Structure 1
Amino acid sequence: MRTMKLGRSALEVPVVAVGCMRMKSLEKKEAETFVQTALEEGANFFDHADIYGDGASEEIFSDAIHMNSTVREHIILQSKCGIRKGMFDFSKEHILNSVDGILKRLKTDYLDTLLLHRPDALVEPEEVAEAFDILESTGKVRHFGVSNQKPMQIQLLQKFVKQPIVANQLQLSITNSNMISNGINVNMENESAIDRDGSVLDFCRLNDITIQPWSPFQYGFFEGVFLGNEKFPELNQAIDEIAVNYEVSNTTIAIAWLLRHPAKMQPVIGTMNVNRLKDCIKASKVLLTREEWYSIYRAAGNILP
């Protein structure tokens, strides 16, 4: 699979990340087959979080991949922490304890990347900085990032944290594309012109922070997928026609649409279906034309001023 640099780091990663949130739903043999297929396809970047399956997804993954030192050398592991039941927690103590738990479940000595999962209103950046320093100096985490954060939150964190923020995981899909739309509809009096995220797309590009789109097939907030959905007839027609031209599936085109953006994003796919996994990975070989990209954008109901 095609690769890219993750943020300002020297870490070379596949352009498509394998999300492991739903791994708890797989039986042992299914999990082994899924992980092995990903590796065979060059998809060796696995995205986790301590809350996925209450930690079970990380345990299932490490068993499925038969984790050992040799295996660890050939994969890239990312996990997230900071979500607790009924609250968010970026305290030093919670971050350190969470990472220890993650490492134990993944059966590894280190994470390639740790992301802070959702903004904590009570965050004290000085504590985060202390936690990051300890994790880096002890070799438990090599790179750091955030998830679902807007520019000012990242800037506040970066004021105290010396490590570069290499990634920001954000919800983005063809149907959830306000971070793109508000940049197109500048100074317009319409819904698409509303900036809900502080121009996070441009901010990340300016600061070499890799955007990792999550839920790339979802519309709304986990309301369902737009592919093959009767609620989006024009969008599906546009995607299907382009898919025929490239001799790939509609799944491939949906990911290719994200990869076509010059921000050099790394979509995080959440499927546990081996065939859909392969279709997602094929997107790394598809380069949509400008005309095709905009035709899909407009077919989703997005307007051009």
Structure 2
Amino acid sequence: MRTMKLGKSNLEVPVVAVGCMRINSLEKNAAEKFVQTALEHGANFFDHADIYGRGECEKIFADAIHMTDSVRENIVLQSKCGIRQGMFDFSKEHILNSVDGILKRLNTDYLDVLLLHRPDTLVEPEEVAEAFDILESSGKVLHFGVSNQNPMQIELLKKSVKQEIVANQLQLSITNSTMISNGINVNMENDSAVNRDGSILDYCRLNDITIQPWSPFQYGFFEGVFIGSDKFPELNQKLEEIAEKYGVTSTTIAIAWLLRHPAKMQPVIGTMNEERLKDCIKASQVQLDREEWYAIYRAAGNILP
């Protein structure tokens, strides 16, 4: 699979990440087979979070991949922390305790990347900085990032945090593309012009922060998958038309649409289906032209001024 640098780091990663939120839906043998399939196709970047399956997903993954030192050397592990029952918590104590739990469940000594999950409005940047310094100096975390944060929230962290923010995981798909549409409809009197995220797309590009789109096939907030949905007939027709041209599936084209953006994004794929995973990986070899990208954008109901 094609690779890229993550943010300003020297960490070389595949352009498609494997999300492990649903790995607890697989039986042991199926989980082993899924992980092996990912590795065989160059998808060695695995995204986790301490809340996925209440921690069970990390345990299941470690067992499925048969974690050893030699295995660990050939994969990239990312996890997230900061979400607790009924609250968010970026306190120093919670971050440090969370990472210790993550490492134990993943059966590893270190994370390649740690993301702060969902903004904590009670965040004290100085505490985050202390936690990051401890994690970095101890070798427990090599790189740091955020998830679902806007530019000013990142700037607030950077007031105290000295480590580079290498990634920002954000909801983005063909049908959930407000971060793109508000930049296209600047100063227009329509809903697409509403800036809901503080121009996070441009901010990440300006600061070399890798955007990791999550739920790249979902519409709404986990309302369903747009591929094959009768709610999006025009979009599906266009995806199928372009997929036929490239000899791939609509799934491949939906990911290729994200990869075509010059922001150099790294979509996080949540499927636990091996064939769909392979289809997603094929997107790294498909380069949509400008006309195709905009045709898909419009077919999803997005407007141009």
Aligned with 2:159: secondary structure? helix
**Partner Cα separation in structure 2 for residue 177 and residue 246 of structure 1:** 24
In the alignment, what sits opposite 1:162? 162
1:258 matched to which residue of 2? Answer: 258
Partner of 2:121: 121
Consecutive unaligned residues of structure 2, counting only runs of 5 or more, are none
TM superposition shift of 1:12 = 0.3
The superposition leaves residues 121-164 of structure 1 with CA deviations (integer Å, 9 ceiling, x where unpaired) of: 10000000000000000000000000000000000001100000
Q: What RMSD in Å do the two structures reach over aligned CA positions?
A: 0.3
Q: Aligned pair 1:217/2:217, yes or no?
A: yes
1:103-252 to structure 2, matched below 5 A, reads 103-252=103-252
Q: Secondary structure at the match of 1:66?
A: coil
Query: How many Å separate the matches in 2 of 1:105 and 1:93?
Result: 18
- Residue 167 of structure 1 aligns to which amino acid in structure 2? A
Query: 3-state SS of the aligned residue for 2:133?
Result: helix
Q: CA deviation at 1:253?
A: 0.3
- Letter matched to residue 39 of structure 2: L
Aligned twin of 2:45: 45
Deviation at 1:245?
0.4
In the aligned structure 2, how far is the partner of 1:172 from the partner of 1:187?
22
Q: Deviations over 1:2-26 (max 9, x none)?
A: 0000000000000000000000111
Distance 2:5 2:158 in 1: 20
- TM value normalised by structure 1: 1.00
The aligned residue for residue 80 of structure 1 is 80
Aligned residue for 1:160, secondary structure, equals coil
Tell me the alpha carbon deviations over residues 225-251 of structure 1, each in whole angstroms, 9 at most, x when there is no partner.
000000000000000000000010110
In the alignment, the residues of structure 2 paired with residue 37 and residue 103 of structure 1 have an alpha-carbon distance, to the nearest angstrom, of 24
Gaps of 5+ in 1: none
d(CA) in 2 for partners of 1:39, 1:299: 34
**Whole-angstrom distance in 2 between the partners of 1:115 and 1:63:** 23
Q: Secondary structure at the match of 1:38?
A: helix
CA distance in 2, matches of 1:40, 1:168: 27
Following the alignment from structure 1 to structure 2, what is the Cα–Cα distance between the partners of residues 158 and 272? 36
For 1:56 and 1:76, how far apart are their aligned partners in 2? 19
Deviations 1:72-126 (A, max 9, x none): 0000000000000000000000000000000000000000000000000100000
Structure 1: distance between partners of 2:45 and 2:135? 20
Once residues 132 and 179 of structure 2 are traced to their aligned partners in structure 1, the CA distance between those partners, rounded to angstroms, is 29
Q: Counterpart of 1:192 in structure 2: which amino acid?
A: S
- What CA distance in whole angstroms lies between the structure 1 residues aligned with 2:27 and 2:187? 52
> In 1, Cα distance between the equivalents of 2:2 and 2:155?
31
DSSP 3-state at the match of 1:142? strand
Q: Which amino acid aligns with 1:303?
A: I
1:11 aligns with 11
Aligned length: 305
Aligned with 1:39: secondary structure? Answer: helix
Q: CA deviation at 1:252?
A: 0.2
Offset, 1:292 = 0.3
Structure 1 Cα separation of the partners of residues 19 and 93 of structure 2: 26
- What's the offset of the Cα at 1:180? 0.3
TM norm structure 2: 1.00
Between the aligned residues of both structures, percent identity stands at: 83
In the TM superposition, residue 278 of structure 1 has moved relative to its aligned partner by 0.2
In 2, Cα distance between equivalents of 1:43 and 1:158? 31
Task: Quote the residue 2:100 is aligned against.
Answer: 100
Q: Name the CA distance, whole Å, in 1 between partners of 2:81 and 2:252.
A: 30
Distance 1:22 1:125 in 2: 32
State how far apart, in whole Å, the 2-side matches of 1:161 and 1:35 are.
34
